[in-house]
Amino acid sequence: MSWTSRDHTTPPPHPGASGLLDAGSTADLARQLDLARDLVTTAVDRAERPYSGATVDQLRRVVDAVDLDSPLASTDEALDELRRVYLDHAVWFHHPRYQAHLNCPVAVPAVVADVVASAVNTSVDTWDQSGAATLVEQRLVAWLADRVGFDSAANGLFTSGGTQSNLHGLLLARERAAADGVPRERWCVVVSERAHFSARRAAHLLGIALDAHGDGVLEVPTDGQGRMVPRALGRTLQSARLRGLHAVAVVATAGTTDHGAVDPLEETAGLARAHGAWVHVDAAYGGGLLLSPTRRHLLRGLELADSVTVDFHKSWFQPVACSALVVRDRELLALGRHHADYLNPEDDGAEPNLVDHSLQTTRRFDALKLWLTLRTLGAAHLGGLLDRVCDLAAATREDLAGDPDFEVVGGTDLSTVLFRYVACAPGLADDVNDAARARLVADGAASVARTRLDGRTWLKLTLLNPATTREDTRHVVDLVRRLAADATASRTLEDAR
Ligand SMILES: Cc1ncc(COP(=O)(O)O)c(C=O)c1O
């Protein structure tokens, strides 16, 4: 029996053994990591499809059958249970036919670093809880800022994801408007109609013009590729001004969630500045282009931003969670500074307390995984991997453009493919595409996403797995074709009755 999983009545096998990490328990840690390694490597090797196809009810029965008040007799048993409860029905992002959302297969060194960070349990908040981890994070932030094109005045933080990074960016924008004396009734935020919903939500959370002017978020139209139209942005800013509103921030997106489009960053920044607005660029998805050997130019103008979101857990192949907000000027980041007597009082001396600026207090050392990835695989390698999936998206769009059964949205900057089955009566197309996607989910052999554009249903491939080939995308498209044709046939038959 392992003392880490004893039941309530069994005393620890030796005095002082608590099941927690200490100098005496490292042999047990090593043994359990070996077991975990075997478990996860076997599961990854055996995953024949992205998902088992189990239904919610089936899985709920498995999960609910576990008696959480009765620990198992050994780690081996507990891990076997964990396999049944979790791994047998995990959604496998490393599988080449997982092509649905913005999830990536992970860099192996990053997983290793995550284990180390978990075992040490550093909290990157105050210097006295973090030590060198603070410096590692700061070094990476400075490195990232340099890649963005900011100078040494820049600063930033790791966050839990794009949602938090966007919230933080807009918080700073709001604080600056407040510091400039703009009354809150005049605040608004300008986003493109294709911006991620987290930008709109952040504005709501920040109370931006919530009472006086509806939701305080003004939407700018996009072109057919999902890019913000600069002239429309100019009109939106102008009409906001005429209404007495002040644009606290303009949010540009570098890599929209559906189209994978990069907004025109230079024009957007120029227009925003002319209206006194903070420029936040949500590069949660497109931030990976910073490393691309062939596509870095798509981010031209990023250096004009005040704040930038980059999600390493999307296009940098890092495990969740790993994101950063990088800010052009450390004085701007300091707009969100806060102090607590028990933690980081203002007279705390010269040591860096990253909690001064963070929205989180206790914070995982997520920077470590990126560090180890860069120190082993290297940045150029990651950029090459992203290029590969962008190339695959272009090739897949080409396939679809030549296929009369499908309509495809042409052109994207990143690795999404938007398409829909159209070999049916136009009035049936939404229903048929919905049905095909539902059948795929139920089956689990492949995974595609679904979205709505211009009031119609579209299917979406988000290609983030460099191991996915053109054969894989063709296979998935053929699966969709077959399922959609079946759905068309059954609906046509029903109509005929
Ligand atoms: C463009 C964009 N921004 C922000 C987010 C939110 O990121 P996260 O899920 O890491 O919070 C997403 C998520 O897909 C996104 O596509």
- Residue 140 shares a structural domain with residue 261: yes
Q: Are 209 and 351 in the same domain?
A: yes
What are the pLDDT digits (tens) for 45-69? 999 999 999 999 999 999 999 999 9
| Domain identity same for 227 and 346 | yes
The answer on 264 and 333 residing in a single domain is yes
Quick check: is 109 in a domain? no
Residue 345 maps to which CATH number?
A: 3.40.640.10
Q: Measure the CA–CA gap between 438 and 290, rounded to whole angstroms.
A: 36
Residue 475 and residue 485: Cα distance in Å, rounded? 15
Mean pLDDT, residues 276-299 taken together: 98
Range 230-237, long-range pairs (CB < 8 A, 24+ positions)? 230/264, 230/267, 230/268, 230/271, 233/190, 233/192, 233/267, 233/268, 233/271, 233/272, 234/271, 236/190, 237/190, 237/271, 237/272, 237/274, 237/275, 237/277
- Say if 279 falls within a structural domain: yes
pLDDT value, residue 324: 98
Inter-axis angle of helices 379-401 and 470-496, to 10 degrees?
40
φ/ψ (deg, to 5) at 406: -130, 150
* DSSP character string of 423-469: SS-GGGHHHHHHHHHHHHHHH-S-B-EEEEETTEEEEEEE---TT--
| Partners of 270 in the β-ladder | none
* Residue 2 within a domain: no
Residue 8 falls inside a structural domain: no
Domain count of the fold of the chain: 3
Residue-wise pLDDT for 408-446, tens only, equals 998 789 999 999 999 999 999 999 999 999 999 999 999
For residue 103 and ligand 1, the question of a CB distance below 6 A is answered with no
Number of Cβ atoms within 10 Å of the Cβ of 138: 17
The answer to whether the CB of 50 is under 6 A from ligand 1 is: no
Give distance in angstroms: CA of 313 to centre of ligand 1.
Answer: 10
For residues 323 and 388, membership in a common domain is answered with no
Instruction: Flag whether 144 is in a domain.
Output: yes
Distance CA 354, CA 330 (A): 12
Task: Tell me what pLDDT residue 10 has.
Answer: 54
Residues 192 and 150 in one domain: yes
CATH number at residue 454: 3.90.1150.170
pLDDT for the residue 15: 44
Q: Which of 316, 340, 367 lies at the terminal end of a domain, its last residue? A: 367
Q: Which helix (H) or strand (E) holds 139?
A: helix 132-148
Query: Is there a contact between 262 and 298 (Cβ–Cβ < 8 Å)?
Result: yes
* CA angle in degrees (0–180, nearest 5) for 315-320-326: 60
pLDDT band at 320 (very low <50, low <70, confident <90, very high): very high
* Atom 5, ligand 1: residue with shortest CA distance: 162
Give the domain range for residue 323: 123-367
In this structure, the answer to whether residues 228 and 361 fall within a common structural domain is yes
Does 217 share its domain with 321? yes
pLDDT level of residue 3 (50, 70, 90 thresholds): very low
Say yes or no: 302 and 178 in one domain.
yes
Reading the block at residue 320, the tokens are 């969740």
Q: How far apart are the first and last CA of the chain?
A: 66
Distance in angstroms (rounded) separating the CA atoms of residues 370 and 317: 9
Q: Residue 212's pLDDT band (boundaries 50, 70, 90)?
A: low
Instruction: For ligand 1, pick from 104, 196, 299 the residue to mutate: most ligand atoms within 8 Å of CB.
Output: 196
In a domain, 406, yes or no: yes
Q: Provide the percentage of residues in the chain whose pLDDT is more than 70.
A: 95
Query: What integer pLDDT is reported at residue 461 of this predicted model?
Result: 98
257, 325, 359, 364: which to mutate for ligand 1, most atoms within 8 A of CB?
257
> Among 311, 415, 416, which is best to mutate for testing ligand 1, by the most ligand atoms less than 8 A from CB?
311
Whether 402 shows a pLDDT value over 90: the answer reads yes
Q: Is residue 3 part of a domain?
A: no
- Please indicate, yes or no, if residue 194 is contained in any of the structural domains: yes
Q: Whole-angstrom Cα distance, residue 455 to residue 424?
A: 18
Q: Are residues 191 and 85 in the same domain?
A: no
Kindly tell me if the per-residue pLDDT of 7 is higher than 90: no
